[in-house]
């Protein structure tokens, strides 16, 4: 099935992730800034680092020491981690100000904890979309939407994910698949927007919706992704790209996110056919300028 060009209002997710630098006050400020910028959805990340990382990974030095918040990679990740109660607090704050809270879960324990919070949807990052135990918990123990990025994932692996949810007759009603290239940042040539077409051809009638998760610079490619049929547009979000951490440089600041939301709204309003052969705005010009010979 190809995209039918039945454009819906774009849904923009501000991926705060760990850009709060381990500070819940900054996390709430970023939620507020995302809302002020026009995003209706915000998303964080949840990890159980001892479960997710091998001992060697946990104890190894951070590969980019300038971005590290600890002596080892494990210490760095623990510094950035918000616990279940803090995530509950963030979800409550989102509800108070009128945005939707969500989280990417990176391991089974994190998935189980976030399932208990019962958000509208839970995200699975590209790095963990082959964690069958975690996918099973999301499929069988949770009734909200499941969104999955497929960066660094083969076509056959993507098909396995879809079939796993189809086994429970849930893919077409619960699953959102995101076209994604895993890199920070990603050059335009590697964003590969036409993968969205492939997703529609292969899974358009098998999943609930198709989205686009971008790690590029600027906002023009997101507009193209929406035009190609991405119902969800997800971008990393920060207050300041120069802050210490891995994702800030490939994130949008508030003015950029606001620009993206406004651009998507304009494009949404323009993606239609003329309601008549001569529109009222044209009739004025036709009466004044049209060649009468």
Query: How does residue 97 score in pLDDT terms, banded at 50, 70 and 90?
Result: very high
With a cut of 80, say whether residue 81 has pLDDT above it: yes
- pLDDT for res 221: 98
pTM for the full predicted model: 0.95
Confidence of residue 44 (pLDDT cuts 50, 70, 90): very high
Over range 178-203, report the average pLDDT: 96
Contacts with 65 (C-beta within 8 Å, 6 or more apart), sequence order: none
CATH architecture of 11-289: Alpha-Beta Barrel (3.20)
DSSP codes, 224-263:
HHHHHT-SEEEEEB-S-TTSSSSSGGGSBPHHHHHHHHHH
pLDDT of residue 177: 98
When pLDDT is cut at 50, 70 and 90, the band that residue 84 belongs to is: very high
Instruction: Look at the block and give the residue holding tokens 């890199």.
Output: 183
pLDDT at 49 over 80: yes
pLDDT tops 80 at residue 1: no
Determine the Cα angle at 38 with ends 205 and 83, to 5°. Answer: 80
Cα(116)–Cα(88) distance, integer angstroms: 10
pLDDT digits (tens, 9 = 90+) for 204-228: 999 999 999 999 999 999 999 999 9
Confidence of residue 249 (pLDDT cuts 50, 70, 90): confident
Reported as a pLDDT band with limits 50, 70 and 90, residue 135 is very high
What local confidence, expressed as pLDDT, does residue 13 receive?
A: 98
Q: What is the pLDDT of residue 146?
A: 98
Region 26-43: what's the mean pLDDT? 98
Tell me: pLDDT of 65 over 80: yes
pLDDT at 161: 97
Q: Map out the domains of the chain as residue ranges.
A: 11-289
Question: What pLDDT was estimated at residue 246?
Answer: 83
């Amino acid at each position: 099935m190809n995209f039918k060009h039945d454009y819906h209002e774009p849904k923009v997710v501000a991926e705060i992730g760990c850009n709060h630098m381990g500070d819940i006050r900054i996390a709430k400020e970023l939620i507020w800034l995302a809302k002020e910028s026009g995003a209706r959805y915000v998303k964080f990340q949840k990890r159980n680092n001892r479960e997710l990382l091998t001992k060697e990974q946990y104890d190894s030095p951070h590969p980019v020491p300038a971005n590290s918040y600890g002596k080892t990679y494990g210490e760095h990740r623990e510094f950035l981690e918000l616990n279940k109660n803090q995530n509950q607090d963030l979800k409550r704050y989102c509800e108070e100000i009128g945005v939707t809270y969500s989280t990417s879960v990176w391991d089974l324990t994190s998935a189980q904890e976030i399932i208990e919070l019962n958000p509208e949807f839970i995200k699975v990052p590209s790095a963990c979309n082959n964690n069958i135990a975690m996918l099973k918990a999301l499929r069988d123990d949770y009734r909200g939407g499941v969104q999955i990025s497929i960066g660094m994932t083969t076509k056959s692996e993507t098909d396995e994910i879809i079939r796993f949810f189809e086994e429970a007759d849930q893919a077409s009603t619960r699953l959102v698949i995101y076209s994604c290239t895993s890199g920070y940042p990603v050059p335009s040539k590697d964003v590969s927007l036409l993968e969205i077409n492939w997703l529609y051809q292969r899974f358009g009638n098998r999943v609930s919706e198709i989205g686009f998760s971008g790690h590029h610079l600027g906002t023009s490619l997101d507009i193209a992704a929406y035009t190609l049929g991405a119902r969800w547009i997800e971008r990393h979000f920060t207050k300041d790209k120069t802050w210490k951490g891995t994702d800030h440089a490939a994130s949008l600041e508030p003015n950029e996110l606001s620009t993206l939301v406004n651009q998507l709204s304009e494009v949404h309003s323009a993606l239609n056919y003329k309601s008549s052969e001569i529109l009222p705005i044209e009739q004025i010009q036709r009466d004044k300028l049209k060649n009468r010979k």
